[in-house]
């Protein structure tokens, strides 16, 4: 008897775009509805920033608060939409949607609570927001993120490339060769650009000390957004593409390499995200899911880097490693 259940095909990019836009539209509608209901009872300016203990310590005009909140929703929605358009079939797409749901709900909860807390208040300096509201916003964000991940469906099936049959390059003994590729991460580039813009804006309009954290985040994110991966007679080298070639993130010399290979790497399933990742027995630069170089080090650990044409890079590394051992009599 045939099963009545059929496998559900992965969602296409169009339904996913609609699903991703859902929380931002819902938050804007909810925010507009709450404002309409309490607009006649709001003071001007509003208490919009709260310090320790929930005491109001920052104030903004009603018009600026409404404009800024709407701009924030549109900005976050645009970032999520841009990430989906850049790589609509990437395995990380469901998690990007989940992050959009969590971000929209947390931001929407904060601005709606701000409006409700200001309603019917004669002295805005007396406005208080209980600390439990912060914890509740985190719970709301987690639940919304889980809902977004559920609605996003299964990750798009990425094409699997067969493992390279050639483990070493047929390179003449006296010849040398080099291999280089540049890998980029659009999410990190967008994040770095947003942090830089926000840091400059806060520094120019408010305080450069307050902007230091944002600028530091941009200084970390932007160099990591694009890496140059090189294999040559010195080993494996990773350097930021935006900086001088003398600036290196990591170099693994040949005497530390036991063997190199290539395989498909799932960044979230194996490493929990993008960037420089450390796990038990392995580490590496994982800027996307897909083909990657896997280097087994002499100490037993693994180092991975996701990059196109990884099989060729691994074969060249093995060739140079064999040469180094033969010279040392190993």
Q: Are residues 313 and 177 in the same domain?
A: yes
Q: Compute the half-sphere exposure of residue 318: CA atoms within 13 Å on the CB side of its CA.
A: 20
158 lies in some domain:
no
205 lies in some domain:
yes
1 lies in some domain:
no
For position 324, which CATH number holds? 2.30.29
**Which domain range does residue 211 map to?**
186-224
Per the DSSP assignment, residues forming a β-bridge with 276 are: 285
Q: Is the pLDDT of residue 164 over 50?
A: no
Q: Of 112, 23, 139, nearest to 74 (Cα)? A: 23
Q: Are residues 192 and 319 in the same domain?
A: no
Tokens found for residue 247: 């600036």
The answer to whether residues 215 and 195 touch, using CB atoms and an 8 Å cutoff, is: yes
**What's the pTM value of the predicted model, to 2 decimals?**
0.54
303 lies in some domain:
yes
Q: Cα separation of 262 and 308, whole Å? A: 10
Q: Are residues 147 and 20 in the same domain?
A: yes
Provide the domain count of the chain: 3
Q: Are residues 89 and 238 in the same domain?
A: no
Q: Are residues 57 and 135 in the same domain?
A: yes
119 lies in some domain:
yes
pLDDT in tens, 222-243: 887 888 899 998 899 998 887 7
Q: Are residues 299 and 255 in the same domain?
A: yes
Q: Are residues 19 and 137 in the same domain?
A: yes
2 lies in some domain:
no
pLDDT in tens, 134-159: 788 888 888 988 888 888 877 655 44
Q: Is the pLDDT of residue 2 over 80?
A: no
Q: Is the pLDDT of residue 165 over 60?
A: no
């Amino acid at each position: 008897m045939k099963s009545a259940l059929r496998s559900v095909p992965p969602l296409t990019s169009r339904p996913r775009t609609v699903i991703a836009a859902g929380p931002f539209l819902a938050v804007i509608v909810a925010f507009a509805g709450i404002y309409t209901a309490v607009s006649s009872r709001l003071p001007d300016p509003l208490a919009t920033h709260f310090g320790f203990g929930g005491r109001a310590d920052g104030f903004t005009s009603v018009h600026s608060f409404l404009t800024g909140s709407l701009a924030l929703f549109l900005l976050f929605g645009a970032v999520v939409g841009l990430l989906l358009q850049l790589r609509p079939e990437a395995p990380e797409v469901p998690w990007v949607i989940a992050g959009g749901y969590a971000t929209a709900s947390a931001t929407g909860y904060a601005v709606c609570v701000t409006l409700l807390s200001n309603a019917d208040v004669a002295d805005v300096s007396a406005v208080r927001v209980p600390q439990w509201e912060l914890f509740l916003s985190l719970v709301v964000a987690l639940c919304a993120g889980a809902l977004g991940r559920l609605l996003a469906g299964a990750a798009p099936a990425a094409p699997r490339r067969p493992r390279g049959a050639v483990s070493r390059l047929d390179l003449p003994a006296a010849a040398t060769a080099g291999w280089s590729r540049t890998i980029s991460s659009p999410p990190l580039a967008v994040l770095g650009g947003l942090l830089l813009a926000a840091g400059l804006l806060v520094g120019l309009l408010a305080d450069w000390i307050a902007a230091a954290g944002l600028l530091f985040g941009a200084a970390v994110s932007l160099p990591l957004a694009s890496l140059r991966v090189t294999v040559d007679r010195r080993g494996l080298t990773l350097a930021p593409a935006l900086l001088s070639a003398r600036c290196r993130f990591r170099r693994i010399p040949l005497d530390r390499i036991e063997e190199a290979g290539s395989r498909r790497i799932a960044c979230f399933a194996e490493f929990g995200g993008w960037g420089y990742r450390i796990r038990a027995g392995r580490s590496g630069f994982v800027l996307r899911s897909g083909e990657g170089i896997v280097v087994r080090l002499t100490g037993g650990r693994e180092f991975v880097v996701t990059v196109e044409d990884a099989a060729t890079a691994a074969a060249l590394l093995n060739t140079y490693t064999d040469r180094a051992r033969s010279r040392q009599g190993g």
